[in-house]
Amino acid sequence: MDRHDAELKIAALKERLNEYGHQYYVLDNPVVSDAEYDLELQELIKLETAFPELITDDSPTVRVGGEPLPYFEKVEHRTPMLSLGNAFSDQDLRDFDKRIRNQIGDDLAYTCELKIDGLAVALTYENGRFVRGATRGDGTTGEDITQNLKTIQAIPLKLNQDVTIEVRGEAYMPKQSFLKLNEQREVAGEEKFANPRNAAAGSLRQLNPQIAAKRNLSMFSYSIGYLENDDLDSHYEALQLIKKLGFKTNQETARCNHIDEVIEYVNKWVEKRQDLPYDIDGIVIKLDSIEQQEQLGFTAKSPRWAIAYKFPAEEVVTTLREIELSIGRTGVITPTAILDPVVVAGTTVKRASLHNEDLIREKDIKLGDTVVIKKAGDIIPEVVNVLVDKRDGSERDFAMPTHCPECDGGLVRLEGEVALRCLNPLCPAQIREGLIHFVSRNAMNIDGLGEKVIAQLFAHQFIQTVADLYRLERDELLKLERMGEKSVDNLLAAIEASKENSLERLLFGLGIRFVGAKAAKTLAVHFGKIEALQEASEEELIAIDEIGEKMASSIFSYFEQAEVTELIGQLRELGVNLAYKGATGSQDLSTLESSPFLNKTVVLTGKLEQLTRNEAKVRIEELGGKVTGSVSKKTDLVIAGEDAGSKRTKAEELGVQIWDENQLIAAFAEIINN
């Protein structure tokens, strides 16, 4: 066979085999026998072996797994993969519905989906071809597991349309595959996986894709993270598009027009979940309208328009041996139960939360008690109750201390609070926990400064304040245990790099009470420089959207302290950036102040010729704007490219300002020239 004939034959085989796979793995509708499929696959392998230059990235043969990888590359998500808030009862769902109706009215609908218990992934396609797949990671940065994801038959390598899109979903291991895998591991003398979720995650994080290929994973796609020329109006519509493109979506998804229908759907699957061929750990409820989603927005961690109903928690019995106390960075004393190890929801649990002294008294918990603990979803296990009839008289009462276990300062309970608190600002535990918070991922993100290293530096009195981190010297660090030259150099480089962080990271890292990551970003964008924030009055702070009275009072009181003024001055002298840098962390403040996009809500629609939609979005966000997906009364500006369609029409109806692409480019150019 010559090359031309081989090319035609390979193209025909690929088309048939990909269609067979789609029918079998996506539509659950096999159209040929396994023997016939294998016969044609072997024919394709022989042809590609003879003509390797004809192998393409959408060939079914790539699903067998390639060469082992040395490591996984890091991938930054185009938009964050946020977690969801949780509901555990019908009342929680009704409260969620009430919050939404209070903000957008009664004209709404929800989409309900089974919450697959697997590994969240993001799949990127350029012009219809699969180019990258990544894990969720911390929500902002994941790992590139493209080669492993290619082994999953339910993931199309080429879409039915040449679109540029990011699709998100849950990779999972079917129950039958899980049982078979554990049988094989038992025969081989290997440790069995605790549950299908762990098995799926372990399979996709193998450096050898050939191992992943043998695990028979699947995937349900559930949302669009990015779509070029996006003009979708609802989440349900997005699911229909995903299915049309060739992805596997869950057939049990339902659209509900009232919270009563949602609860009916939830109760149905509480009863029927064991009948499914895959594990689920709850139900995801999403507001269907994308415009309404935009109106509600996000908290720092999750969308306000979605919630995950978690199934009733698994409860187990064990023995409570001790109660350990820890002091947080705000001085709160938190008791934790130390337990005999026990398996709950597939994981071994040795500790459980006791929350506060009142809970210990209310539940009459004694040391040595037999207790019931539960773990719902991913939350920390907690003690439910004591089995009093199991007591034999050896149990001992527990009393909370009157003085701080770390500094011996007196403990107090502030009015309206249930927690005991150490108010000593020089308490070593609070200082240490504050330092750990400062270097954490969502704050200054200093790689290599984990809890153990901070504790070691603190114990040797190398650091007392966050400013001391920027005074650390190479020679003194080399004297510490487990601190070699390479690790010290990497640590100092990470500390130096953190000086360039944008202001919002520093504000969050300072640990101002009630100021989370989102509030820190709001403050950074509004004030631009920390000096302006230091000079702000309580009234100015309260006037800022999303900054309430309680938070404003805390911020104002914090910056009134002489110690804080001195600390900010030290950080300035040490070269730490004290200004907001924009979305990418590189924006000059003078540019930001003159930006026509500052604090404006912008919608991009239609096809842009000179920029991609994402390039325009990133630049607008760098210049202080917020880019959303739908036009509403809160929209300040619409950038309309060719074929703008319904979004432009709606902007005209609402009287929203409309620019074409040339006006956008001109605005960018003017900012640069100024």
Q: How far is Cα 446 from Cα 457, in angstroms, rounded to an integer?
A: 14
Q: How far is Cα 24 from Cα 18, in angstroms, rounded to an integer?
A: 10
Residue type, 2: D
Under CATH, which number does the domain 428-498 receive? Answer: 1.10.150.20
pTM: 0.60
Tell me: the pLDDT tens digits for 28-68? 677 777 778 778 888 888 888 888 888 887 787 777 666 66
Q: How far is Cα 464 from Cα 93, in angstroms, rounded to an integer?
A: 45
673 confidence band (pLDDT: 50, 70, 90): low
* 8 A C-beta contact, residue 432 and residue 460: no
Please give the CATH superfamily to which domain 589-673 belongs: BRCT domain (3.40.50.10190)
Q: What is the DSSP string of 639-669?
A: EE-BT-THHHHHHHHHT-EEE-HHHHHHHHH
Q: Work out the mean pLDDT of the chain and round it to a whole number.
A: 88
Own/partner pairs for 614-620, CB < 8 Å, 24+ apart? Answer: 614/78, 614/226, 614/228, 616/664, 618/583, 618/584, 619/668
Q: How far is Cα 394 from Cα 280, in angstroms, rounded to an integer?
A: 42
Q: Where is average pLDDT lowest: 218-232, 379-393, 562-576, 622-636?
A: 622-636
What are the residue ranges spanned by the domains of the chain? Answer: 3-64, 85-310, 314-390, 428-498, 503-573, 589-673
Q: Where is average pLDDT lowest: 234-243, 251-260, 382-391, 587-596?
A: 587-596
* 8 A C-beta contact, residue 384 and residue 315: yes
Q: How far is Cα 640 from Cα 165, in angstroms, rounded to an integer?
A: 20
Residue 115 known to be catalytic? yes
Give yes or no for residue 589 having a pLDDT over 80.
no
Q: What distance lies between CA 106 and its chain's CA centroid? A: 30
Phi, psi of 353 (to 5 degrees): -75, 140
Please give the CATH superfamily to which domain 314-390 belongs: Nucleic acid-binding proteins (2.40.50.140)
Q: How far is Cα 549 from Cα 287, in angstroms, rounded to an integer?
A: 29
Residue 162 buriedness (CB in 10 A; 0-12 / 13-18 / 19+): exposed
- Residues of the chain with pLDDT > 70, as a percent, come to 95
CATH top-level class of 85-310 = alpha beta
pLDDT at position 308: 94
pLDDT at position 31: 79
Of the listed 115, 310, 366, 375, which one is catalytic? 115
Average pLDDT over residues 496-509: 94
Please give the CATH superfamily to which domain 3-64 belongs: Helix hairpin bin (1.10.287.610)
Mean pLDDT comparison of 445-449, 468-472, 483-487, highest-scoring range: 468-472
Report CA Rg, the chain: 28
Under CATH, which number does the domain 503-573 receive? Answer: 1.10.150.20
Give yes or no for residue 378 having a pLDDT over 70.
no
Tell me: the pLDDT tens digits for 282-335? 999 999 999 899 888 888 778 999 999 988 777 899 999 999 999 988 889 999
Instruction: Examine domains 428-498 and 503-573 and report if their fold is the same.
Output: yes
Average pLDDT over residues 544-573: 92
